[in-house]
Chain A
Amino acid sequence: TAVKNLAAAKDPAAIPTFIAVFGYNNPAAAAVAVAALTEFGDLAVPELLNQIDDYNYGARAYSIRTLAAIADPRALDVLISTAATDFAPSVRRAAAKGLGHLNWHKLDVSQRQLAINRALEALLFISQDADWSIRYAAVVGLQALAKVPEVQQTIVAKFSDMLHSDREKAVRARVRLAYTQ
Chain B
Amino acid sequence: MIETGTEEYSADNGTQLTPEGAIANLQSSDLSLRYYAAWWLGKNRVSQPEAVDALIAALEDEADRTELGGYPLRRNAARALGKLGNCKAVPGLITCLECSDFYVREAAAESLALLGDKSAVPKLIQLLDGGVAQAVQVPGRPHLTQPYEAVLEALGAIGATEAISLIRPFLEHPLPRVQCAAARSLYQLTQDPVYGEFLVKMLADGDLKLRRVVLGDLGAIGYLGAADAIAQAQVENSFKLIALKGLLENQLPDELDNPSISPEAIRVMNLMDSLL
Which segment of A47-55, A71-79, A84-92 sits at the interface? Answer: A84-92
Q: How far is the CB of B267 from chain A (nearest CB, A)?
A: 11
Task: Give chain B interface residues in 229-260, CB to chain A under 8 Å.
Answer: 236-238, 241-242, 245, 248-249, 252, 255, 259
A7 near B: Cβ within 8 Å?
no
Hey, what's the 0/1 contact readout for B256-276 against A, CB within 8 Å counting as 1? 000101000110010011001
A27 near B: Cβ within 8 Å?
yes
A93–B240 CA distance with the chains assembled, in angstroms:
13
Q: How far is the CB of B54 from chain A (nearest CB, A)?
A: 27
A interface, by DSSP: helix, strand, loop or mixed? helix
B138 near A: Cβ within 8 Å?
no
Q: Which A residues touch B252, using CB under 8 A?
A: 169-170, 173
Contact A96 B269 (CB under 8 A): no
Q: A61-B2, A93-B276, A140-B273 are in contact. Are A177 and B261 (CB under 8 A)?
A: yes
Contact B261 A176 (CB under 8 A): yes
Contact A137 B276 (CB under 8 A): yes
Count residues on chain A whose CB falls below 8 Å from chain B CBs. 31
Contact B265 A90 (CB under 8 A): no
A90–B255 CA distance with the chains assembled, in angstroms:
29
Contact A90 B237 (CB under 8 A): yes
Contact B236 A90 (CB under 8 A): yes
Chain A residue, CB-CB nearest to B4:
A58
Which segment of A37-45, A113-121, A128-136, A146-154 sits at the interface? Answer: A128-136
Q: Which A residues touch B68, using CB under 8 A?
A: none
Q: Which A residues touch B205, using CB under 8 A?
A: none
A155 near B: Cβ within 8 Å?
no
A173–B9 CA distance with the chains assembled, in angstroms:
25
Q: A133-B238, A173-B269, A177-B261 are in contact. Are A89 and B248 (CB under 8 A)?
A: no
A58–B242 CA distance with the chains assembled, in angstroms:
20
A125–B199 CA distance with the chains assembled, in angstroms:
38
Chain B residue, CB-CB nearest to A180:
B261
Q: Which B residues touch A88, using CB under 8 A?
A: 3, 7
Q: Which A residues touch B245, using CB under 8 A?
A: 132-133, 170
Q: Which A residues touch B8, using CB under 8 A?
A: 89, 131
Contact B9 A87 (CB under 8 A): yes
Q: How far is the CB of A79 from chain B (nearest CB, A)?
A: 13
Contact B3 A58 (CB under 8 A): yes
Binding site for B on A (CB under 8 A): 25, 27, 30-31, 57-58, 61-62, 87-90, 93-94, 96-97, 130-133, 136-137, 140, 169-170, 172-174, 176-177, 180
Q: List 25 A-B contacts (CB under 8 A).
A: A25-B2, A25-B4, A30-B2, A57-B3, A61-B3, A89-B10, A90-B3, A90-B236, A90-B237, A90-B238, A97-B273, A130-B10, A133-B238, A136-B272, A140-B273, A140-B276, A169-B249, A169-B252, A169-B255, A172-B255, A173-B248, A173-B252, A173-B269, A176-B261, A177-B266
